Structure 1
């Protein structure tokens, strides 16, 4: 038996196999064990290991870490895709200098996703073009990359889906489905007035998630203006309470940096 720590030799053959037979056996085993990364990278990594005289255990560790890293990447990609984001946005791309109203330290702290782990809410409030949706999508993406189940939706789309589910007597299943994700991102809340039925259905979703799973919303209306969206004052107050209790509120301001960038490019 080879002693632990012995360096790899270019002349070594598992079980006395030829190089071609060894590669074929490795390929078959990786297919059987569902190790696609090792299967595709094994030959190149084996050559590198032999050239650098890595130990057998070191080579094995490199192979397994490559497979684990690739699996983690694929899982992350699947969670991001399942979230249904309309476009890709990241915290790295956000231009904090263009919007000094937003504290980078606060945003990067949120990027650690501790608030999602604790089931806390997040409200992004500000005018169009101030970065609300960018931050909502970017923070949702960070949560997906950190292993959380995330779902993005527009407020009107969510309400319409709930109304249809109620008409089809599927409301309980739909609310439960939205209740299971770790982070529900609701964009463009406040852009359109909701009738009482729609507001009540949205309230049910928020109640299902209260103090269990996080909700993050982006709205162009300050809380005082939410009565335009939720016309019942008591229901409006209850929804604001659900979305703010124990959570973070980021005000992105009123100056559209998108508009400023457009004007600067045109000048």
Structure 2
């Protein structure tokens, strides 16, 4: 491994964690608002998580918005890019092949409980070559148990492969509050409304309206996770009232918009770790 690890410091280079002789390797790394990680892939499966800030993670097939209450399970070898919304405190877990056995073989959003949050934070504070038979080994075992038991959530946005439709979807992602109808977009995309409607269903499994709503939900999660006010988010995403936006958001996500706003809790540490066990 790098000289940092030999000196007892934890590396922030993901490559240094792909061959660690442990079931789980945990990397802490912080990023400023707007930072972009270009498309890449890793040998190990990973849990992409941040205790603060929101990430937009993209593959060739879909887009996910990941606030602090969620994490993205990423199988090994999948090309992906990440854009930060707000200052992001990323805490990534890289899992050895045997530790990842039984986890999904496709990307999935996972709920992060208070207990799992503190376990992940604690893992980034342990030595990289932690004692598997000591307390650190028990923490890793708990992490794996929580990951394997946790349900996945249908919070993703399928991306089409058709070039015309992909360009349209990219434009909507850039301006999710755009109110243009499918007929108006058809002229922009140089395709008939019927063709676009068919392509949406064929390539994403969603109607144009459902795809745009899901895009707005995910965008709202990112903005709310970055601390933006609910009213501001509702108006910028094209809703006439906060109540209409809140009703849509709750139907789609199962939670109120305010639930995605940053909580005023103390930074994670040993006290928080103890509370997580007490409340778990």
TM range (shorter): under 0.3
| Bigger CA radius of gyration | 1
User: Greater share of helix residues, 1 or 2?
Assistant: 1
TM score, norm. by length of structure 1: 0.28
User: Greater share of strand residues, 1 or 2?
Assistant: 2
